[in-house]
Chains A and B, each alone.
Chain A
Amino acid sequence: MTAPQTAQVTAHRQPMIHLRDLRKTYSVRQGMFGKPKELHAVDGLSLEVPEGTTLGLVGESGCGKSTAMSMAVGLLRPDSGSVSIGGRDLYALPVAERVRLIQPVFQNPRAALNPVRRIGDLVGQPLRLHGGDDIARRAREMMDRVGLPTRLFDAYPGELSGGQRQRAAIARALILEPRVLVCDEPSSALDVSVQAQVLNLLLELKRDMQLTMIFVSHNLAVVEHVSDRVAVMYLGRKVEEAPAPALFKTPRHPYSRMLVGATLVPEPGHPLPVQPKGQPPADPFLAPMGCRFAPRCAFAQASCAERPAPAITEPARSFWCHRPEAVTA
């Protein structure tokens, strides 16, 4: 087990949402007769997000982003660790109170919206389930708020465009006026012109409703655009956290550097980023108990894989690495 990643980051304000040392281990059987193995999907993750700010969460598929976010919204119980929102322990609260604190918006609004229910019903559904009056009026107001024409109140999800469906999902998430919104790849399934509309809407809502957001995406340019701070995950652990501009300009952890370096900018004339060849895939079963990135790291020494990496704390930034001097040199 690793030491919890509790290095203090510049959260002077009380965090609105605080994930403390979350762990989730799955038992996975490989093959029909294989012995079950432990998969540490989330391995001691801590995150703090101050009120009214957005934390971007990036990392490759399988790094545990979505598992961590399922635990943050209370859809999945961690093996250990806690989630508190506004100082209250999320798991100790009844569902009816939880849903007023934190709500998710998922990548695929087609899957998130019941196709046989009308948009107005879907948007008003949380009020109906968790108590509230004047449901139809409030649903219309919220549709208007997210830029959905109220004439679509009686439409079915199938009649809406992808962007409109995502607006409906956002309206439903916000109708209980939660304090925290968790967006898991909210614009990834959308075309760029529509993606811009949805990102603009989220930025506007965050400002107007003083929302605290966690924004998960594999699109680093989008994350930089919407986030105040960014955390980078690798195989269940946080490897770096920094203000968004600093993370993209001067990533310090070798994995952050690899991610940022591999991002293609829409400007011709840059050579293709050179990636080390023949590197092993990020196989969670092969990950060492020490620094989990060590097998892919150009700077790693044998000892890196043996012990968890120590926290390197700088003003406004933390990262976890055995050999920071070698990386920066």
Chain B
Amino acid sequence: MTAPLLEIDDLHVTIPTDRGDLHALRGAGLRLEAGKTLCLVGESGCGKSLTAMSLMGLLPRKARQTAGRFALMGTDYAGKAPKAWAGLRGRDMAMVFQDPNQSLNPTMTVGVQMTEALRHFEKLSKAQAEDRAIAMLDRVGIADPRSRLGQYPHQFSGGQRQRLMIASALIGRPKLLIADEPTTALDVTIQAQILQVIAELQDELGLGLLLITHDLGVAAAIADEVAVMYAGRVIETGPVAQLFAAPAHPYTQGLMAAIPVPGRTRPGSPLPAIPGRVPGLIGGVTGCAFRDRCALAGDVCASDPLPRHAFATGGFVECTRPSLSETRP
């Protein structure tokens, strides 16, 4: 068996603040096989985006990071100099952000921005790099790519700018694409197009995709595996079909019940909301971070470490409830 494309274990990120240390990631772990899609879901502040930033080596300067394992294609970088990992960025892995307006330099032409990494890593000539850029733009569905290389970002629409970002990320033929809410700022019709482009390119290039989203609809549509984060930890994972059919963690169950689904939720009926709010992570948390909002919580939930139950069909849940094994095969 070959090593997974990406394997992260026991990832901790602490950010010092005026009010004390913020334990933003508290032992998060991920595993993504080559060519597959892992969706990381959760609410604001759960650490999804920070996980992506950590993977890309883009954490704030004052953040402290430790990991049990931090491996890409079988090579473990945990404990090695950050520079070694940073060298993978743009070549073996690339990232697409939510807001293309903040990722594109408004004063540079699209062609220069797209070919920058290519000329740096692959030492291509301007003409060679531009040919690659044109092929890539064509591939993501931008018409007349040659003439558009000389244009500036503002001459593209929002959906086109996100296509540009995808083209730029994939132009170096990375093995891993990290996409942080790539369609959240877009209209639903454009969202469907962008997801389609990503899915097609993924097949063509054998790309592993780590997609971060708060939208369970997006996760259901394109994920192979789903990981649910809460307060800096992955609390449940599994193959998409099993996880949606039988969510095991009370938080995952709550999240799925809280969204209206046409044809399933009765219009106008109260939605089962999750009471309370996410705990503050300054000074850290012991035991289950969800216990204050959980109807099933008991005294055992306050102590570390929490039991982890692995499912036969893949994935796990981190919860003290003993009846868990019956919720999902």
Chain A contact residues, CB within 8 Å of chain B: 60-61, 161-163, 191-197, 199-200, 203-204, 218, 220-222, 224-227, 244-245, 248-249, 258-259, 262-270, 272-275, 277-278, 281, 283
Contact = CB atoms under 8 A, between A and B. Distances in A.
Contacts of B158: 61
Contacts of B259: 192, 195-196, 221, 266
A258 B268 contact: no
B195 interface: yes
Nearest to A199: B271
B202 to A, nearest CB: 12
B152 interface: no
A259 B157 contact: no
A304 to B, nearest CB: 19
Contacts of A269: 220, 241
A163 B258 CA distance: 14
Contact of A192 (B141, B157, B255, B265): B255
B267 interface: yes
A193 B273 contact: yes
Interface of B: 43-44, 141, 143, 157-160, 187-189, 191-193, 195-196, 199, 214-223, 240-241, 244-245, 254-256, 258-263, 265, 267-268, 270-274, 277
B222 to A, nearest CB: 7
9 contacts: A61-B187, A191-B43, A222-B260, A225-B260, A225-B265, A264-B218, A269-B241, A273-B192, A274-B192
Contacts of B214: 191-192
Contacts of A274: 192, 196
A264 B260 contact: no
A207 to B, nearest CB: 9
B43 A203 contact: no
A60 B189 contact: yes
Contact of B217 (A226, A248, A259, A266): A266
Nearest to A195: B258
| Most chain A beta-carbon neighbours within 10 Å: one of B241, B244, B263 | B263
Contacts of B159: 281
Contact of A272 (B143, B157, B221, B270): B221
A224 B269 CA distance: 11
A266 B219 contact: yes
Nearest to B293: A193
